[in-house]
Amino acid sequence: MSAAPVAPTAMSSQFPNESPIIVDEQHDEDATSDVTSNTTIPMMRGKVTDWVDLQHHQFLLSVDGKLDLSPPNQDDYPAKRVLDIGTGTGIWAIEFGELKPEAEVIGIDLSPPLAEVPPNVTFEVDDIEEPWTFSLPFDYIHSRMMTSSISDWRRLIQNAFDNLTPGGYLELQEMDLMPHSDDGSLKPDTAVVRCFALLGKAATVLNRSFQDIPDLVNVMQEIGFVDISIKKVMWPENTWPKGQHYKILWQCAHEILCPGLRVGLWHL
């Protein structure tokens, strides 16, 4: 999802390699969690960082190799200050910093990434749900996979709006955590649907509900964002998707879902 005062235009066209993915076997003991005063988020360490970065590759495949869809990702767009919310391993911030060496890129998370970074990229350890204290506004704010990590999306979006330059962009890359089927064959009593429904109830108890991302459009409009657009993509979870593109997306999704589901169930 992106929101901006001007309509999106043409994007850059760097394409990722759609060769088969090989991932080391993951183990639950590789996962730890960082805890602040009122927030508990599963954070990936050791080998599990591999599938966090694999998820980044999955996003690239989903949008034709682009880091994002909004205009700041164009080669000629002058994004001077960029914020990456929930930076995780820092892979998105690092690649954006390499793409835009003239930009100052700040990644923020509860735990610092353990990666070498370009000179224009820095990481800060902080809770994005606490009051924002940035001294200068941003031209572009990016957020990815924060569903069920945010207790108050309206407050987050309001903070983003208040910390953007006039004409700045906010982009949210999120997923619907509830599984669906194109043909309606995935019924409510299916084991995987029941499992995610129970996870959703547990997340609500923890004040980290599964967020219906399209519902945020009204919130963004009320806060003052304009030219809001949504692009939906499909991530296959079955073993028989048609076409090489979706087969690779399935392989990524499978490698991410299995350890991720174990970690999520263990923490809840």
10 Å Cβ neighbour count for 202?
15
For the stretch 17-41, what's the b/e string if a residue is b when 16 or more beta carbons lie within 10 angstroms of its beta carbon?
eeeebebeebeeebbeebeeeebeb
Q: E-assigned strands of 88-211?
A: 104-109, 121-125, 138-144, 164-173
Looking at the structure of the chain, the number of domains it has is: 1
The crossing angle, in degrees rounded to 10, of helices 244-267 and 49-62 is 140
Q: Of 9-18, 107-116, 202-211, 218-227, which gets the smallest average pLDDT?
A: 9-18
Residue 56 placed within a domain: yes
pLDDT at 258: 64
Strand 2-3 versus strand 164-173 pairing type:
antiparallel
Which residues are within 8 A (CB) of 18 and not within 5 positions of it... i.e. 6 or more apart? 61, 244, 245, 248
CATH code of residue 157: 3.40.50.150
Q: Per the domain annotation, does 140 fall within a domain? A: yes
Assigned domain for 17 exists: no
- Lowest-pLDDT choice from 29-43, 85-99, 136-150, 184-198: 29-43
Phi-psi region of 88 (alpha: psi -120 to 50; beta: other; left: phi over 0): left
Q: pLDDT confidence of 33, banded at 50, 70, 90?
A: very low
Rounded to an integer, what distance in angstroms lies between the CA atom of residue 115 and that of residue 111? 12
pTM (two decimals): 0.72
- Tell me whether residue 247 is in a domain: yes
- Does any domain span residue 198? yes
Compute φ and ψ for 104, nearest 5 degrees: -95, 115
Domain membership of residue 18 (yes or no) is no
For residue 132, what pLDDT band results from cuts at 50, 70 and 90?
A: very high
pLDDT digits (tens, 9 = 90+) for 152-178: 999 999 999 999 999 999 999 887 767
Tens of pLDDT, residue by residue over 87-120, are: 989 999 999 999 999 999 999 999 888 888 999 9
Q: Which domain holds residue 165?
A: 2-11+23-267
Confidence of residue 78 (pLDDT cuts 50, 70, 90): confident
pLDDT at 187: 80
Range name among 20-29, 63-72, 154-163, 219-228 with the lowest pLDDT average: 20-29
d(CA 198, CA 210) in angstroms, rounded, equals: 11
Domain membership of residue 16 (yes or no) is no
Q: Which range in 71-85, 158-172, 234-248 is most confidently predicted, on average pLDDT?
A: 158-172
Give a yes or no: residue 131 inside a domain.
yes
Higher pLDDT, 51 or 124: 124
Give φ, ψ of 114 to 5 degrees: -110, 55
